[in-house]
Amino acid sequence: MPPARLIVRRGRRLSARPGSRLSAESIFARLGKEYPTAACALNHRSPFELLGATILSAQCTDARVNLVTPALFARYPTPAALASARQEDVQDIIKSTGFFRNKARSLIGMAQGLVAEHGGQVPRTMEQLRLLPGVGRKTANVILGNAYGINEGVTVDTHVSRLSQRLGLSRHDDPVKIEQDLVRLFPRDDWALLSHLLIFHGRQVCIARRPRCEECVLADLCPSALV
């Protein structure tokens, strides 16, 4: 089935100019009311576990990752344990998350980096995180925002990208440029939660193929609304 085509109704009156701070403020407030429990969906008990889970979440659902991480961290509870793991053993545990060879390599390399460079701790800066194998800007934002409460940037995944475009918050496709637009529009204290709110809304209402505009609390703010 082809993706639903979004029609921008130019004549429709919107309650705030798309991409304005007023629009951004209203979007955040309404989504906050709609999803009061929005939070990181990856189960974890420590920054190390969140880092491992986030590496596994590439091209995979959070629900699938949550099925795999209990066995992974039962067998390798610390960076030191994972750093000396055999690649084949890690692969066997994480196989169902896809791309398992690369992910196993990244997990072991990440753990070795933590042990060798950071005393077995997960670092707290974007620069240090990004030097670890398998860790890009998106993963680093997840760790900083959710494990440490540091709002260094906005996590831009596929849901955040899609909603930012549909809501007129960004005209870009590139996640880095979308992030730059979002950090200009939303206060720094809101960045981690903003990402969770957009992800929740993207999973439940503003679905990729078939957005449910008729039940969307943002319809009067959204230039892509089908209602």
- Site residues for ligand SF4 per CB under 6 A: 6, 166-167, 205-206, 211-213, 216, 218-219, 222, 224-226
Cα dist. 88→49, 51, 102, 154, 195 in Å?
20, 20, 11, 34, 34
How far apart, in whole angstroms, are the C-alpha atoms of residue 18 and residue 87?
48
Indicate the residue among 194 and 216 with the shorter CB distance to ligand SF4: 216
Catalytic positions, please?
138, 157
Contact between 139 and 51 (Cβ < 8 Å): yes
Indicate the residue among 80 and 208 with the shorter CB distance to ligand SF4: 208
DSSP state at residue 40? -
- CB proximity list for 139: less than 8 A, separation 6 or greater: 51, 54, 55, 129
Give me the least distance between CB of 13 and ligand SF4, in Å please: 14
Angle at 138 between CA 70 and CA 81, to 5 degrees: 35
Indicate the residue among 35 and 76 with the shorter CB distance to ligand SF4: 35
Give me the least distance between CB of 227 and ligand SF4, in Å please: 7
Give me the least distance between CB of 223 and ligand SF4, in Å please: 8
Give me the least distance between CB of 152 and ligand SF4, in Å please: 26
How far apart, in whole angstroms, are the C-alpha atoms of residue 192 and residue 155?
7
Indicate the residue among 116 and 208 with the shorter CB distance to ligand SF4: 208
Contact between 141 and 51 (Cβ < 8 Å): no
